[in-house]
Structure 1
């Protein structure tokens, strides 16, 4: 059993995730916009805690997305 270096760990991780890395280089799809909307909704939930009417909350979410 030889000592594993940090480079061995990196290379094994690259080998394991090879297809995902190649896909990320070939395709320009991103979930960034969706994650941004999720972050805005979570912030709204924290800031607007205690809406009496749930429809008001959903209306605020629909205003965020525009």
Structure 2
């Protein structure tokens, strides 16, 4: 299992660790109601979408910052 961004391999975990990570990603997506930007591609390669990751990170950081509860950064 490979996790890639464009042509760069970000992580090559064992299959078990990769599946566990993807299950955790699914839980966070469901809980936050936001796409993670991480998706299973064909041939065992997991593709990441940088814009989705950037958006999710901003939203998560804004929600966890003091005094910004409920507000998301555009």
Q: Which one has the bigger strand percentage? A: 2
Which structure is larger by alpha-carbon Rg, 1 or 2? Answer: 1
TM-score by length of 1: 0.33
Does 1 or 2 have the higher relative contact order (CA < 8 Å, sep 6+)?
Answer: 1
